[in-house]
Amino acid sequence: MTFSRSSGILLHPTSFPGPYGIGDLGPFAYRFIDYLAESGCKLWQVLPLGPTSYGDSPYQCFSAFAGNPYMVSPDFLMQEGLLAVEDLADMPDWESNRVDFGLIYQWKPKLLDRAFDRFEASASEALRDEWAGFRQTNASWLDDYALFMALKDSNGGVAWNEWPAPQRDRDPKALAQARKQLADSINRQMFRQFLFFRQWDKLRKYANDRGIQVIGDIPIFVAMDSSDAWANPGLFYLDENGQPTVVAGVPPDYFSPTGQLWGNPLYRWDVHKASGFKWWIERIRATLSTVDIVRIDHFRGFAGYWEVPGDAETAVNGRWVPGPGIDLFHAIREALGELPIIAEDLGEITPDVIELRDTLGLPGMKIFQFAFSGPDNPFLPHHYTKNCVVYTGTHDNDTALGWYRTCPHNERDFYHRYMGRDNANVPGDMIRAIWSSVAVFAIAPLQDFLGMGTEGRMNFPGKVGGYWAWRMDDSHLNDWLMGRLKELNWMYER
């Protein structure tokens, strides 16, 4: 698929401001879309939209298909009569600029349960029909997900491979009994998904109607503690007790001297291939029903991935194993047609990764923060081709200003020589440089437009807890930034 020259902002919905402890799909989300459209930006990039778990990372979700119910807007539920003001009486006193996920996990499900009770008691026939249609349309993943979450709650929240063996192993009698005993909990989980996708689909349509395309994100791997692994154990390297025999990670790199031990179960690609890659086709299909363009995280894993023993404490002692290669993408294209995919081709990139990306004609990624080792660095704009997507940095990087303040002296020196600028406005100068490049898409996190330092960092790879929590302020979408965006997009024809 051919993309057209455009620009945009990377901002996850949880980072929106608002009174309910976490950014959501409510009124401010629509204001943000209006702001993007008026500025001339045509892209909004988000992180994975799935239900987060321990560690709060959207790259470790309970499902590759489900949405994050913590993003459901209470404002819109009140407008529809599914909540009343008194339902918010027990709302915690939130910090305004950070998400307290611990409090959110305690409070938001209770609020959504109150909405379900009102729905049960007084929903219109039209809304009930919509609810029934949602359940029918999404049954292929929703039934397993809702049962998984209900069983998880009934087992005190522990991972599925610690459940009683009949439930862990999906014994038909045990599952039939659970569906009967946990029917109310299952319905509540389904209802949360109904609310999320109902609100998300309206927001995305609003964006599309205003010329904004949404770039979503697919993590290559699923979380170990997910309905995907529990419902499809044969697709992963798991032993008879549901324990992973090998797990995912990356070798020592720019971010970590011991590598990153992600812990995700690895795919049995031979089994996927024998099925015609059915699970992957359905995953891509489901994601493209919610976003317009997909960034595939850790694309290099399709060429070859870092396999670490299941009991390892670091990712150092792993090995490279061949991935499914082009066979997977041939199957996806045969089923779904040409796909709007961005390949996250960062990390240890070998010729087979480049060959796979280029054979498929996919744009790769350029991270400007990685560029300043010398004139031959491929992340410098004079090396770009049109078919790439350039960022000042991503959710895994420090902000542009945070990078500049902590980068090695030689990189800082080369930055000044290459840019021909002092340090008066490092984020602004970096944004201008990527907007002016030939890259088809130029994208920057909102934090860089705001000139924030490390206090605006979204994530630090390999560190668990304390991240993913940054939230913007209501005043950040101001006239000054609007003028700057308009000027950049006009000047560089984006």
Q: Which of 344, 345, 411, 448 is catalytic?
A: 344
- The backbone torsions φ and ψ at residue 264, rounded to the nearest 5 degrees and listed phi first, read -70, 145
DSSP 8-state class, residue 323: -
429 is catalytic: no
Q: Is the dihedral of CA 180, 183, 186, 187 positive or negative?
A: positive
Question: How many CB atoms neighbour CB 122 within 10 A?
Answer: 10
d(CA 48, CA 340): 16
Q: Which of 80, 396, 429, 487 is catalytic?
A: 396
User: Which residues are CB-neighbours of 352 under 8 A, at least 6 positions away?
Assistant: 303, 304, 325
Scanning 302-425, the segments in alpha helix (DSSP H) are 326-336, 351-360, 400-406, 409-419
DSSP assignment of 68-98:
-GGG--HHHHHHTTSS-GGGGTT-----SSB
86 is catalytic: no
User: Which residues are CB-neighbours of 187 under 8 A, at least 6 positions away?
Assistant: 116, 146
Pairing of strands 304-309, 319-322: antiparallel
Q: Which of 297, 307, 345, 411 is catalytic?
A: 297
CB-count exposure of residue 260 (10 Å: 0-12, 13-18, 19+): buried
| In contact, 366 and 342? CB cutoff 8 Å | no
Per the listing, tokens 């542009």 go with 400
d(CA 165, CA 233): 14
Number of alpha carbons in the 13 Å side-chain half-sphere of residue 366: 30
Read off the tokens for 21. 């402890």
Per the listing, tokens 């997910």 go with 226
344 is catalytic: yes
C-alpha 251: how far from chain center: 22
List the catalytic residues. Answer: 297, 344, 396
